[in-house]
Structure 1
Amino acid sequence: MHPVRRTRLAVVSALACLGMLVSACGLGTAAGPVRSGDLAGPLADVESLDGLEIAVGSKNFSENIILGKIAVTLLASADADVTDLTNIPGSSAARQAHIEGQIDAMWEYTGTGWITYLGHDDPIADEQEQYVAVRDEDLELNGLAWLPPAPMNNTYGFAITQATAQKYGITKLSQMKEVPVAERTFCVESEFANRPDGLPGMLQTYDIPQGEADGVPESNLKTYQTGAVYSATEKGECTFGEVFTTDGRIVALDLTVLEDDREYFPKYNVSLVIDDEMLQAHPQIADLFAPVAERLTDEVLIELNAKVDVEGLEPVDVAYDWLVSEGFIS
């Protein structure tokens, strides 16, 4: 096993504890039931994973939980013995569990890997180049293998209502400066408002610097708790609302995301990240996930996220139903 990671023997007690879902063990997951079916369609000929014991984790926000449940369902349908450790509170705890071998696989985002985990200040604009850079460095340093990424890109963005789009005729961020200063208002999360790589840098990139009378005066900024920005934008409390581009509330509230035409925001394509030794021993895992990842577009994730965040369905059922509807399992 890669020297940075613990041996399987060293984490037996941790896995046992996690399997009982006891929060004192550190991760505090609330995984729930495992659903499975028979592999079908493009996955029908994937070699069985009978005998493989694998722990799958996720972070604790809807999209990553849904993706985690997709992985759990796929692996269980391929006859693997899966421990569901999805819904780990916080990125830091999830990443640490992955590094230490408490979990074997988890969906991760290339932008998060490059900037947050590997400590690089500047994102790589090209999606494929950023993926390759993350893949190579994380494999070398931590023994973690990044499978080819999905086309979906859950990055930051700014959304407007249909009424605003019609009033100003804008479709991209470079057109924000065409909106009169008095109406050039923003709803953002407090952290995003103050981070150099957040709102200040974005406004500077698009030639409407924060804090200046002819840019975006401080009085034009309104800060909200996570998630409240969507409804505030829909209600007209501001013209531009900070969003995540695959959030289901974008469609539910009939918002439009403006094109990041100067490519300010990092790319956050999602990839299944797995212990490399496990992948080398069971290469069919890559075959299992490749067709699934290819179909995970922005539009698909927006729809799946909406089923959880808007309709109130359970992530495990949303994941299972999507895999059936796409013909991956029966």
Structure 2
Amino acid sequence: MIRHSLRVGALALIASVAAGCGLVSSSGTFQTTSLTDGEKPLDGASLVVTSKSFTEGVLLGKITATYLAAAGANVTDLTGAPGSASSRQAQLNGDADILWEYTGTGWVNYHGETETIADPDELWQRVHDLELSSNNLEWLPPANFNDTYAFAASSATAERLGVKTLSDVAALPPNERTFCVDDEFFSRADGFGPMLDTYDIPLDGPNGVEGKNVTRMDAGVVYTSTAQSSPCNFGMVYTTDGRIKNLDLTVLEDDRKFFLPYSGTAVVRAPVLEAHPEIADLVGVISERLTDDLMQELNGKVDIEGEDPADVAYEWLRSEGLVT
């Protein structure tokens, strides 16, 4: 699954289906509950929460739907929208009110920007301003997790090679610089080749990475191959993927700040936020608790342990003392 890319070619078709038939959830409903203090600051509000179909998107949607409903809102659950574009288009059309997005997605995919902004707060502000002026969408302050691209190694391999950063990888002997990547990342304009250039180890260049040391494979296989250190020492991962913990992978620091931040951010239609400003504070309670480690854990409960996203969302909210 491509998390951060938008299938632009399918946009018109998906939009017409969403408009003509109604956007439909593919992942069920959320659990009914209430805030621990019994208050209902959103009493009388009617909100439509949607999400993209990959695990993290559905989880964030379920958490948001559950919590806002607990706060008294009448929530329609349209999480798990099929395709990459349908949830976004539904929000643009006014058919959905709240959607979790990523700042890198907004910058690159939605607005076609090519400048790399390493500072996550600056990137959020730039995307926020663009989206508010062009689409009347309010990007709320970002959560404390960044679901961006990264490279990882098995913990044993990272210890054996003494690597903690991508600069450490660049300093290794050429025969140890072996990589597993998927086709999409390999061919991206902001993907594998430019990353190697940033770390002064160009693909098939002098003192660089030899093509024979790069294996292209399905994204899911990259994780297990990296855990086995075969055929590669280093594999491309997403930083909040549950397999990182499950497979005991060590994520390497991008110390030259090549990868664009993909900070998770709840996006609300501006008229909805104006009518119900309490949404911002409620979502903020959620956002401040969401970290890379937590998202790895929650994603793993769904992808590895097979739990239902609605149950995972409810149990986490309950464990945080936010709902009963």
Asked if 1:30 corresponds to 2:9, the answer is no
What TM-score does the superposition give when structure 1 sets the normalisation length? 0.89
The superposition leaves residues 271-318 of structure 1 with CA deviations (integer Å, 9 ceiling, x where unpaired) of: 110110010001111121111100101111111011111111111111
- Counterpart-to-counterpart distance in 2, 1:89 and 1:203: 34
- Counterpart-to-counterpart distance in 2, 1:79 and 1:150: 23
Asked if 1:281 corresponds to 2:310, the answer is no
1:111 maps to amino acid: G
What TM-score does the superposition give when structure 2 sets the normalisation length? 0.91
Asked if 1:302 corresponds to 2:287, the answer is no
- Counterpart-to-counterpart distance in 2, 1:166 and 1:263: 23
- Counterpart-to-counterpart distance in 1, 2:62 and 2:100: 10
Q: Alignment partner of 1:56: what SS?
A: strand
Asked if 1:52 corresponds to 2:51, the answer is no
- Counterpart-to-counterpart distance in 2, 1:36 and 1:51: 16
Contact residue 150 and residue 295 of structure 1 kept, 8 A: yes
- Counterpart-to-counterpart distance in 1, 2:150 and 2:109: 19
Q: Aligned to 1:242, which of 218, 226, 236?
A: 236
- Counterpart-to-counterpart distance in 2, 1:82 and 1:29: 13
1:266 maps to amino acid: L
Name 2:163's counterpart in structure 1: 170
Contact residue 48 and residue 95 of structure 2 kept, 8 A: yes
Asked if 1:154 corresponds to 2:147, the answer is yes
- Counterpart-to-counterpart distance in 1, 2:24 and 2:177: 42
Q: 5 Å matches for 1:188-207?
A: 188-207=181-200
Contact residue 62 and residue 79 of structure 2 kept, 8 A: yes
Are residues 208 and 46 of structure 1, via their aligned partners in 2, closer, same or farther at CA, if it must alter by over 3 Å? farther
Q: 5 Å matches for 1:107-118?
A: 107-118=100-111
1:132 maps to amino acid: Q
1:290 maps to amino acid: G
Q: Aligned to 1:76, which of 51, 69, 73?
A: 69
- Counterpart-to-counterpart distance in 2, 1:135 and 1:33: 30
- Counterpart-to-counterpart distance in 2, 1:294 and 1:45: 21
CA shift, 1:47, in A, is: 4.8
- Counterpart-to-counterpart distance in 2, 1:24 and 1:277: 23
1:34 maps to amino acid: F
Count of matched residue pairs: 308
Asked if 1:215 corresponds to 2:242, the answer is no
CA shift, 1:24, in A, is: 7.9
Name 2:80's counterpart in structure 1: 87
2:288 maps to amino acid: E
Q: Aligned to 1:229, which of 218, 222, 225?
A: 222
The superposition leaves residues 159-190 of structure 1 with CA deviations (integer Å, 9 ceiling, x where unpaired) of: 00122112110100011123221221111010
Contact residue 241 and residue 296 of structure 2 kept, 8 A: yes
Q: Aligned to 2:245, which of 247, 251, 258?
A: 251
Name 2:7's counterpart in structure 1: none
The superposition leaves residues 240-298 of structure 1 with CA deviations (integer Å, 9 ceiling, x where unpaired) of: 00000010100000000000001100011111101100100011111211111001011
The superposition leaves residues 177-233 of structure 1 with CA deviations (integer Å, 9 ceiling, x where unpaired) of: 232212211110101111120000110001110122631111111111122210111
CA shift, 1:46, in A, is: 5.9
Q: Alignment partner of 2:79: what SS?
A: strand
CA shift, 1:79, in A, is: 1.7
- Counterpart-to-counterpart distance in 1, 2:38 and 2:271: 23
Q: Alignment partner of 1:64: what SS?
A: helix
CA shift, 1:115, in A, is: 1.2
Q: 5 Å matches for 1:137-152?
A: 137-152=130-145
**RMSD between superposed Cα atoms in Å:** 1.8
Q: What's the % identity of the aligned pairs?
A: 49
- Counterpart-to-counterpart distance in 2, 1:130 and 1:211: 32
- Counterpart-to-counterpart distance in 2, 1:324 and 1:28: 27
